[in-house]
Amino acid sequence: MTHLNDITTDTNVSTRSKGSHLTIDDRVKISVLKELEYSNRMIAQYIGVAHGTIDREIKRGMVTKMSKQSNNGKVYCYYKEYYDPYTAQERCEKSRPNCGRTPIYQSSPEIINLLDDLMLGEFDFKDHDKFESLDSQKCSPYATLKIAESLVNDDVKLPASERPIYNWIDKGLLRTKNIDLLEKTRRTKAKHGRTPKREQPGKNISQRPKEVETHTTFGHWEMDTVQGKKSAEDPVILVLAERLTRYNLAFKITSKTPNAVSRVITKLKELTGDYFDEIFKTITPDNGSEFFEVANEVDQVYYADAYSPWQRGTNENNNRLLRRSITKGTSLQLFSEFDVGQANLRLNSYPRKILGSKSSLDRFEEEILKIIDPETLAV
């Protein structure tokens, strides 16, 4: 019998990646080595797999061969079992679709329908007070997963992360398509080019405390305006975004002017009273002329550079979410203050991955309760 050392040299012993399947070439080698009466362990060493893999492979590929022999007018049938590599390959290919766990999209069609309804804005939240403000709003795969977790029983199986949902969409397994995802087709890498110089009425963002950049302390806000229809007569929405909690404030104001912005600042000071400086530690406005009076009313104001939206990333992300309810090009005269408030509530109630699946509203309330005694809050 040929010894294993005769065939296992540095050039022909297989080096396989872990978990790789046997190929037809591997199976032909197994067949030849079995004919040479090598043990399964020796074959496993040569092929580069565990000996249990060879044991199972031999069982998979066993076939029975019948031969006939005549003697004195009688026909004798002889049966012999042997390993056939091509039969083994065929049986492997037939069984492979049934390998592993049954995917959720096959085993739980009702869960798939729930995910689709949430991503397409077709789910009815009327019996779910916590998410009622999200009614008719499309949700991202991550938000969809987190909302679904709170809607179904604990024993119902859901994807472990949003990644499988994206994969199912890419494979066309859901009603939801990539075009239905409000962010996926729009995200592009920011281009940080040279910033044009423009006179500013106060301190520049480069002078802002470094701790603001870390998103680890509460009370640092970014300020911007959201326009509907670009017209001097059309109202605008003044927005402030808190960097740690991503909480958004939105106020419909009559015009894009310093006086209109100042009235909102005055209103915020009245609402927060002695706590204003703790809640609004810094404000980073856009470089627009409507914010030029803010520095006269708030101590720690740092103006972003002109044409540099990435310096107010929280603002920009929140504005994009707000645009889901208030689309660009639509006159804001069609939206009441209540409508703007509801749109902003939907934004703040949205579960966010960056907040550990909590909403901005949840996180903002946690931070406010660290500053203000709950007993002093109005009911």
Place of tokens 């329908």: 113
Q: Side chain identity at 137, as an amino acid letter?
A: Q
Local confidence pLDDT in tens for the 379 residues of the chain: 555 555 544 444 556 777 788 999 999 999 999 889 899 999 999 988 998 999 999 998 899 888 888 888 788 888 888 899 999 899 888 887 777 677 777 778 888 999 999 999 888 887 777 777 777 788 889 989 998 888 888 778 888 889 999 999 998 989 999 888 877 655 555 555 555 555 678 899 999 999 999 999 999 999 999 998 888 889 999 999 999 999 999 999 999 999 999 999 999 999 999 999 999 999 999 988 899 999 999 999 999 998 888 999 999 999 999 998 898 889 999 999 999 999 999 999 989 999 999 999 999 999 999 998 876 655 4
For the chain, the C-alpha Rg in angstroms (whole number) is 33
Q: Provide the pLDDT for residue 348.
A: 95
The domain segmentation of the chain, as residue ranges, is: 4-98, 104-180, 203-376
Q: Provide the pLDDT for residue 217.
A: 95
Q: Side chain identity at 162, as an amino acid letter?
A: E
Interaxial angle between packed helices 337-348 and 360-371, expressed in degrees from 0 to 180 and rounded to the nearest 10: 90
Quote the longest CA-to-CA distance of the chain. 120
Dihedral of the CA atoms 68, 72, 74, 76 (nearest 10)? -30
Q: Model pTM?
A: 0.67
Cβ neighbours, 10 Å, residue 152: 15
Q: Please, how many CA atoms are within 13 Å of residue 13, restricted to the half-sphere of its CB?
A: 14
Place of tokens 């109005």: 378
Per DSSP bridges, beta strands 248-253 and 236-242 are antiparallel
Please state, in angstroms and as integers, the Cα–Cα distance from residue 233 to each residue in 85, 161, 291, 323, following that order: 80, 46, 18, 20
- C-alpha 57: how far from chain center: 40
Q: Provide the pLDDT for residue 9.
A: 45
Fold of 203-376: Nucleotidyltransferase; domain 5 (3.30.420)
* Angle at 121 (CA atoms; ends 127, 237), nearest 5 degrees: 100
Q: Provide the pLDDT for residue 379.
A: 41
Over the chain, what HEC string results?
A: CCCHHHCCCCCCCCCCCCCCCCCHHHHHHHHHHHHCCCCHHHHHHHHCCCHHHHHHHHHHCEEEEEEEEEECCEEEEEEEEEECHHHHHHHHHHHHHHCCCCCHHHHCHHHHHHHHHHHCCCCCCCCCHHHHHHCCCCCCHHHHHHHHHHHCCCCCCCCCCCHHHHHHHHCCCCCCCHHHCCCCCCCCCCCCCCCCCCCCCCEEHHHCCHHHHHCCCCCEEEEEEEECCCCCCCCEEEEEEECCCCCEEEEEECCCCHHHHHHHHHHHHHHHHHHHHHHCCEEEECCCHHHCCHHHHCCCEEECCCCCHHHHHHHHHHHHHHCCCCCCCCCHHHCCHHHHHHHHHHHHCCECHHHCCCEHHHHHHHHHHHHCCHHHCCC
160 Cβ partners below 8 Å, 6+ apart?
none
Token pair, residue 154, equals 């604990």
Q: Provide the pLDDT for residue 108.
A: 81
